[in-house]
């Protein structure tokens, strides 16, 4: 990676995220005051506004001016038909507004997510929520941080816990899940039954229930990853996201000691191999993601073994289904 100056790319990307954040906030004010044209993509809950497009155009223009040789994958460019092939070249992977539904409703879990993929792996991630002024950054091999207070803020290393807590079972976990925008009967039923088992009380009629501490839906995949990196969420699972939703978050979570993998199948096939937790093109594009926060080593179980155990317990509980 020595051929890429990641610290200088990080500085550029952070400045760009702040600039984009300003546009997102102004857009939100305009929407709350005067409304906006909200368009539908796949269906009536898959939304896009003029600001998604505007922010992506800004990011595409600035990245191509400063890094003309880098490739670009963006949610709105992809929707408009620009679908570059994956290569080993450095590639910005951008969701201009992650949490568009929140954005439209004025619910402040909204961010821009900018990942840099190199040799088909995330190597840098920047997530900025301009409403809560939370900037999450991560660089491969250099850790991940959260900063509040803009350029004057002091980056705080992730995870917050200096010695990450154990996680004995799912019953003690705070877990992010999402309803997503695929509401056809099969995926909706699989998702609902899965949530039912994760939440349900096995001693009061929910056979197989894990009675987790809670389920949360922030409405932004990138923010879910950031919260797992921070330690506010113990884990996050979703089927149906895209590389731009997760590329930055994957790196930020990994650099905070989190373990990321893909589907039930990927988990089963890799869990006993050195490839477990290696997130390359197949997982990034695989539409199925699970991440568990850092867990400290204990006498009888390493943190990584505990992360594997928790994912195993989770995947024994929830149903797999195809993303549309
Ligand atoms: C969506 C959000 C949401 C997740 C969806 C994503 P968008 O991204 O990340 O949390 O459930 O799968 O598509 O549409 O707001 O960019
Ligand atoms: Ca988006």
Distance 102 CA to ligand 1 centre (A): 10
Q: Which atom of ligand 1 is nearest to the CA of 52?
A: 16
Computed from CA positions of residues 13, 254, 72, 114, in that sequence, does the dihedral angle turn out positive or negative? negative
Does ligand 1 come within 6 angstroms of the Cβ of 219?
yes
Closest C-alpha residue for ligand 1 atom 5: 180
* 46 Cα: distance to centroid of ligand 2 (angstroms): 9
Sign of CA dihedral 152, 158, 16, 180: negative
Binding residues for Mg(2+): 75, 95, 97-98, 245
* Token representation of residue 126: 């920047």
Residue 221 CB less than 6 A away from ligand 1 = yes
Q: What is the pTM of this model?
A: 0.97
Ligand 1 pocket mutation, candidates 42, 94, 101, 220, criterion most atoms within 8 A of CB? 220
Work out the number of other CB atoms within 10 angstroms of the CB of residue 82.
12
209 touches ligand 1 (CB under 6 Å): no
Beta pairing class for 38-40 and 121-129:
unpaired
Determine the pLDDT at residue 1. 46
For the chain, 324 residues long, the average pLDDT of each consecutive 10-residue run is 86 98 95 80 80 97 98 96 96 98 95 98 98 98 97 96 94 97 94 98 98 98 98 98 98 98 98 98 98 97 98 98 92
Residue 251 CA to residue 93 CA, distance in Å, equals: 12
- Atom number, ligand 1, closest to the C-alpha of residue 47: 14
Are 79 and 111 in contact by the 8 Å Cβ rule? The answer is no
Please state the atom number of ligand 1 nearest to the C-alpha of residue 97: 16
Which ligand ends up closest to the CA of 101?
1
Residue 44's pLDDT is 75
Contact 250, 291 (CB under 8 A): yes
Binding site listing: 75, 95, 97-98, 245
Q: Give residue 236's pLDDT.
A: 99
The answer to whether 212 and 76 have CB atoms below 8 angstroms apart is no
Q: Which ligand is nearest to the CA of 222?
A: 1
Tell the residue nearest (CA) to atom 16 of ligand 1.
98
């Amino acid at each position: 990676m020595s051929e890429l100056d990641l610290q200088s790319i990080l500085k550029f990307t952070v400045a760009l995220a702040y600039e984009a954040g300003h546009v997102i906030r102004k857009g939100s004010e305009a929407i709350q005051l005067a409304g906006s044209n909200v368009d539908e993509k796949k269906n009536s809950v898959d939304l896009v506004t003029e600001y998604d497009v505007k922010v992506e155009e800004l990011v595409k223009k600035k990245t191509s001016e400063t890094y003309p040789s880098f490739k670009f994958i963006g949610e709105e460019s992809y929707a408009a038909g620009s679908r570059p092939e994956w290569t080993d070249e450095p590639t910005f992977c951008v969701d201009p507004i992650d949490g568009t539904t929140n954005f439209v409703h004025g619910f402040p879990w909204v961010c821009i997510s900018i990942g840099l993929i190199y040799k088909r792996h995330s190597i840098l991630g920047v997530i900025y929520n301009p409403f809560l002024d939370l900037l999450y950054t991560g660089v491969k091999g250099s850790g991940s941080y959260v900063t509040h207070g803009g350029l004057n803020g002091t980056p705080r290393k992730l995870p917050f816990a200096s010695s990450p807590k154990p996680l004995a079972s799912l019953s003690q976990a705070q877990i992010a899940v999402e309803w997503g925008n695929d509401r056809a009967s099969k995926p909706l039923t699989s998702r609902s039954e899965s949530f039912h088992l994760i939440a349900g009380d096995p001693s009061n009629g929910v056979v197989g229930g894990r009675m987790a501490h809670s389920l949360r839906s922030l409405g932004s995949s990138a923010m879910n990853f950031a919260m797992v990196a921070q330690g506010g969420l113990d884990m996050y699972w979703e089927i149906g996201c895209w590389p731009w939703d997760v590329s930055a978050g994957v790196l930020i979570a990994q650099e905070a000691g989190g373990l990321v993998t893909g589907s039930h199948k990927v988990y089963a096939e890799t869990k006993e191999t050195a490839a477990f937790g290696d997130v390359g093109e197949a997982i990034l594009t695989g539409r199925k993601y699970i991440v568990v926060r850092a867990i400290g080593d204990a006498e009888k179980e390493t943190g990584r073994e505990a992360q594997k155990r928790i994912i195993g317990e989770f995947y024994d509980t929830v149903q797999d289904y195809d993303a549309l």
